[in-house]
Amino acid sequence: MSNNKTGLIIIGLLTATLLGVIYLQQSKSIAPSQVRLEDIPMKLGEWKGKDIPITKRVYQILETEDVLMREYINARGEKVDLVIVYSGASRAAFHPPEICYLGDGRELLIKNIETVETGVKGEDSTLRTNRLLMKDKFGQEIAWYWFTVGSKITENYYLQQCYFIWNELSRNPAGGSLIRVSARTTSGDPSHADATGKGFIRLLAPLLPDYIIPGKKKMASLDGRPS
């Protein structure tokens, strides 16, 4: 059995064992932190943003009101969607986005890990993300997403959940987030949407810590790799 598979099994067993303990300790979870998602700039380089209305039902499902849904468009008419979900108290707010995409009728063509340049010098010059290539009746769409816990970053949902549990058991709980960026293409070639989305991430990533980590400026990779 490979080391990766063994690690996943261990993480799964650890998570299952600790969930019952955490359930009994929910009263010790932190209250939602004051984050400033709405203050994320409407103008990022050549991109201008417009908030997408969020229904009460979405807030109820996510169990948090710290949600940002925004469409950005540039002078060429290219569009990207930005979704950020933050929770300081409930891990139920987080799940892999492909669950919603597939439930909405999209077909998942490719899922892989992609390292995106952030435009930041040094160890934070890259960001590991999950990349989804999907299609529906309107064409193809590419989405990149990653998770945070406190000042940590990971593309691994299960690692994020384990870190939540560890923080709660050590009585040092921290809020977390899901960040997702997506871009569409109406042609059969997704390369243009790919470049568009990664270009937007390069503008966004260096700014995020100021808005999703109260009192902190620098984010570190959760799994020990450069973020």
- Where in the chain are the domains? 3-221
Residue closest to 94 by CA, chosen among 170, 13, 166, 160: 160
DSSP one-letter code for 223? T
67 against 33, higher pLDDT: 67
pLDDT of residue 34: 66
pLDDT of residue 27: 39
Q: What is the mean pLDDT of residues 160-183?
A: 85
What is d(CA 162, CA 223) in angstroms, rounded to the nearest whole number?
Answer: 12
Coil, helix or strand at residue 210: helix
Whether pLDDT at 219 is above 60: no
Model confidence pLDDT, tens digit, residues 102-150: 877 889 999 999 999 887 777 778 999 999 999 988 889 999 999 998 8
pLDDT class of 13 with cuts at 50, 70, 90: low
What is d(CA 6, CA 11) in angstroms, rounded to the nearest whole number?
Answer: 9
What's the whole-model pTM score?
Answer: 0.78
